[in-house]
Amino acid sequence: MIQIVFLLLSHENITAKQLAGELGVSTRTIYRDVNILSIAGIPILSRKGYRGGLSLLQGFSLDKSYFTQEEQKNIVQALQILKSSNYPDAEKALNKVAGLFSHNLQSEWLEIDFSYWGSPEKERNNITVLERAIINKYVITFTYFNSELTVTDQIAEPLKLLFKSHAWYLVAYSKRREAIRTFRMSRIRDLQITDQIFDRELPEDFSITPVYKEEYNIPIFVLHFSEKIAYKVYDEFPEKNIKKLEDGKLEVTFRYQLSDWTFLYLLSFGEYVEIIEPAEAREILKEKAKKICSMY
């Protein structure tokens, strides 16, 4: 919406179709955002007919006096966080807004970097494609590599992009599963937008975080970690789930499913973790360790 205001400031008159072309969205989205801006107090005029279009009330300007100093700082910091998450064109928007507010980006006391080593350009491109698909409600197709080591071809209705714990996720209705699912962006390949339109909306009570209940029968793991990797244990688990034992080891109690992902994750701790409970999980990890040994 800020981009719409900037385009209106730089044009005496511009049509909704031209705005849609500039921003890569539908005219329906433009009219929706213009309505929101008008409600927020931005004086946008609409003229029909020959030489009609959208324009700002003559004499209107959006300058730093429109926001308080605290609001300016919050807007700049929000854009800095968005930039750090590798969101496309966030840096361009940050520089424009910082220039508008006369904000010195070089003197920032905080630097945030959510990217992982080797974060691919492909993921950033996918975000741009998905933004268009979500706004215009286009069905998408893609290949997905899930945590259970399974590759599937997906047809989905994209509903929301979400950034959580150092990674981007796509929330979408999977036609294959006939349910809303969450897909990690780094595992999406061959993303394509179709010309099929959908009407589905994301339920208001949707949460990416699963609610674990005892009746789900998800076992409780008791893990003992060597004090040599205490730093990693405190990085990975909530402190309330960690107890220091008399021998210096760290005991972690946590709910895990008996899935391939769980055991691959635990194997990443190498010789520094032991499963105490459940017994079934001990046996599964033991068999996986034997298979690894047989390879060397």
For 62-118, how does the pLDDT look when each residue is reduced to its tens digit (9 = 90+)?
554 556 667 766 676 666 666 655 566 666 766 666 655 555 544 455 555 555 545
- What was the pLDDT predicted at 164? 75
- Please say whether the beta carbons of 134 and 160 come within 8 A: yes
Amino acid at 181: R
- Tell me the C-alpha distance between 19 and 15, whole Å: 6
pTM across the whole model: 0.49
Name which of 94, 88, 91 is nearest 127 in CA terms: 88
- What was the pLDDT predicted at 7? 78
- What was the pLDDT predicted at 113? 54
Q: Is the pLDDT of residue 215 over 70?
A: no
First-to-last alpha carbon distance for the chain, in angstroms, is: 58
Bridge partner list, 157: 173
3-class DSSP assignment, residue 162:
strand
Structure-model confidence comparison of residues 240 and 111, the more confident one: 240
